[in-house]
């Protein structure tokens, strides 16, 4: 997994391959990408992450005081006199806002030799250095020369770590000269933003993964490793979240916040599971909502999805709920198929469901159906069942969650009935949640067991 630290409670992480590479002295790294892809934040986050390294940040585009105001945590990553203004701007030495004195460093130069000379005077006598140039184009414009060749000679002679930030995507001369190169990209999936770090090369470092999803949430860089659940060190009882007069909690704080307070009472939720999505990546959207109902003394009625057994459902609840609460979970039983048509079986199932919810109507309940398994049994006769269930849910102010797998022919029809439409997709071992109704961007799915029971975390891609 990657290497992590925190900035004002926000997790900072970079891929372990990148941190291992920068652990060697005398290496050079190119961080490239179009404007707005997160290059500056990655460079600053590297300075924050590398312990025992003396960092210098040479800025040619952004005034140092603006940099500190935009990323106030940078003061924890390096001293302010290690933020070097190489912009040659006549405004560089103006008094910072709010009267706060800033002791930044300034490079005085007029051409390539004077720039190299000033840099040498600044860095000589220091050891274990990492110098960031953001951006190398700014230095070249100021000196009117391809100065990166001289900087690389300078870097190798002094054994420095050096990072060049550059605003292009294609391969150019610098790509072939540096020891490592990463590309930051913005991609769009179903019209929503994804951020991708692509490792082009890291000399001497084996790379098990060549690309990572990342976010800039909180103004810091955080990458995501492939999905993995760590079991709790000590199991504890699930702590339910409160409902409101108008909404049921989803059992996840993050999802409640995204939805503006949870699920509106009387609503139907469609959870569409994409290709290559594993069970543990989607099951908690259902199980935590059901656990929230059960922990509050309500009933949860379910019909398992394909690949989920009745025993697994009860086993989950018994791990994290009191016995009397877990006993309120009801799994709908289906009649035998011998000599019956699908139409007859569908009518029996609908009758069983109606009788079940009539017994718990005064308390309200949550309903979760694996639509994929119902399709196998009832075929096109499932649509009238869902239409009736939708009516009952809305009329009695219940909550229904329908799970459906990738490729089902009736997805569009079922989606038209749902009040909420969520989709979970896989990208490089990372599972992404987004809502089609209402519309949201992407969130990375994580499951946190630090409280002693699973909690669903949804981390925004921004």
The per-residue pLDDT for 141 is 83
> How many residues does the structure list for the chain?
462
Pick the CATH number of 3-223 from 3.30.930.10, 3.30.2090.10, 1.25.40.10, 3.40.50.300: 3.40.50.300
Under 8 Å between Cβ of 387 and 418 = no
| CA–CA gap between residue 26 and residue 166 (Å, rounded) | 20
The per-residue pLDDT for 190 is 87
Q: Please write the tens of the pLDDT for every residue from 315-335.
A: 888 889 988 888 889 988 776
| CA–CA gap between residue 246 and residue 152 (Å, rounded) | 63
Instruction: Using the structure block, give the residue that is written with the tokens 């960031």.
Output: 132
Q: Please write the tens of the pLDDT for every residue from 399-426.
A: 999 999 988 889 999 999 999 999 999 9
| CA–CA gap between residue 443 and residue 391 (Å, rounded) | 31
Q: What contacts 116, CB < 8 A, 6 or more positions away?
A: 147, 150, 151, 154
| CA–CA gap between residue 364 and residue 299 (Å, rounded) | 7
- Residues β-bridged to residue 331: 302
- Residues β-bridged to residue 268: 400
- DSSP E strands in 363-461: the ranges are 365-370, 399-405, 420-427, 430-437, 443-448, 455-460
The per-residue pLDDT for 361 is 62
Domain ranges in the chain with CATH number 3.40.50.300: 3-223, 247-460
Per-residue pLDDT, averaged over 36-42, amounts to: 96
Q: Which helix (H) or strand (E) holds 4?
A: strand 3-7
Greater pLDDT, 255 or 341 = 255
Q: Please write the tens of the pLDDT for every residue from 181-199.
A: 999 999 999 899 999 999 9
Residue 22, SS3 per DSSP: helix
The per-residue pLDDT for 36 is 94
- Percent of the chain exceeding pLDDT 70 equals 93
The per-residue pLDDT for 102 is 57
pTM of the predicted structure, to 2 decimals = 0.90
* pLDDT higher than threshold 60 for residue 101: no
The per-residue pLDDT for 132 is 96
Fold annotation for 247-460: Rossmann fold (3.40.50)
393-397: long-range contacts, CB 8 A cutoff, minimum separation 24 = 393/266, 393/267, 393/268, 393/367, 394/266, 394/267, 394/268, 395/266, 396/266, 396/357, 396/361, 396/364, 397/265, 397/266, 397/364
How far is residue 167 CA from its own chain's centroid? 25
Please report which confidence band the pLDDT of residue 262 belongs to, taking 50, 70 and 90 as the band edges.
Answer: very high
Q: What contacts 42, CB < 8 A, 6 or more positions away?
A: 14, 31, 182, 184, 197, 221
Please report which confidence band the pLDDT of residue 458 belongs to, taking 50, 70 and 90 as the band edges.
Answer: very high
| CA–CA gap between residue 232 and residue 244 (Å, rounded) | 29
**Cis amide prior to 97 (ω within 30 degrees):** no
- Residues β-bridged to residue 341: none
| CA–CA gap between residue 259 and residue 232 (Å, rounded) | 27
| Mean pLDDT of the residues in the chain | 89
Phi, psi of 134 (to 5 degrees): -130, 95
Per-residue pLDDT, averaged over 370-399, amounts to: 92
């Amino acid at each position: 997994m990657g290497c992590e630290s925190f900035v004002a409670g926000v997790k900072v992480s970079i891929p372990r391959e990148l941190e291992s590479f920068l652990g060697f002295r005398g290496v050079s790294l190119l961080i490239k990408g179009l404007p707005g892809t997160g290059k500056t934040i990655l460079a600053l986050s590297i300075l924050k992450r590398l312990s025992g390294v003396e960092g210098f940040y040479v800025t040619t585009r952004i005034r140092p005081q603006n940099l500190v105001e935009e990323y106030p945590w940078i003061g924890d990553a390096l001293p302010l006199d290690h933020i070097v203004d190489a912009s040659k701007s006549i405004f560089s030495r103006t008094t910072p806002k709010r009267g706060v004195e800033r002791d930044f460093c300034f490079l005085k130069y007029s051409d390539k030799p004077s720039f190299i000379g000033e840099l040498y005077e600044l860095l000589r006598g220091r050891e274990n250095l990492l110098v960031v140039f953001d951006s190398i184009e700014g230095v070249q414009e100021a000196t009117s020369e391809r100065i990166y060749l001289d900087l690389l000679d300078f870097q190798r002679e002094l054994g420095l770590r050096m990072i060049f930030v550059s605003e292009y995507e294609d391969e150019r001369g610098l790509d072939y000269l540096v020891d490592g190169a990463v590309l930051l990209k913005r991609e769009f999936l179903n019209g929503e933003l994804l951020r991708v770090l692509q490792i082009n090369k890291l000399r001497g470092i084996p790379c098990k993964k060549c690309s990572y999803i990342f976010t800039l949430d909180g103004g810091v860089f955080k990458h995501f490793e492939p999905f993995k659940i760590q079991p709790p060190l000590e199991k504890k009882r699930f702590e339910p979240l409160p409902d409101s007069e108008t909404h049921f909690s989803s059992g996840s704080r993050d999802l409640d916040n995204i939805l503006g307070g949870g699920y509106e009472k009387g609503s139907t939720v469609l959870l569409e599971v994409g290709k290559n999505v594993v069970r543990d990546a989607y099951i908690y959207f259902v199980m935590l909502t059901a656990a929230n109902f059960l922990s509050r003394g309500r009933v949860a009625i379910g019909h398992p999805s394909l690949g989920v057994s009745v025993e697994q459902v009860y086993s989950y609840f018994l791990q994290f709920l009191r016995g009397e609460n877990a006993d309120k979970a009801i799994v709908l039983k289906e009649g035998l198929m011998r000599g019956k048509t699908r139409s007859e079986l569908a009518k029996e199932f609908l009758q069983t469901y109606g009788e079940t919810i009539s017994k718990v109507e005064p308390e309200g309940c949550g309903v979760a159906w694996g639509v994929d398994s119902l399709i196998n049994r009832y075929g096109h006769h499932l649509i009238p069942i869902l239409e009736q269930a939708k009516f009952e849910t809305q009329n009695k102010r219940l909550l229904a969650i329908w799970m459906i797998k990738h490729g089902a022919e009736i997805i569009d029809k079922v989606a038209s009935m749902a009040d909420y439409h969520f989709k979970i997709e896989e990208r490089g071992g990372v599972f992404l949640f987004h809502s089609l109704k209402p519309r949201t961007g992407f969130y990375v799915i994580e499951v946190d067991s630090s409280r002693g029971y699973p909690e669903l975390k949804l981390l925004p891609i921004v």
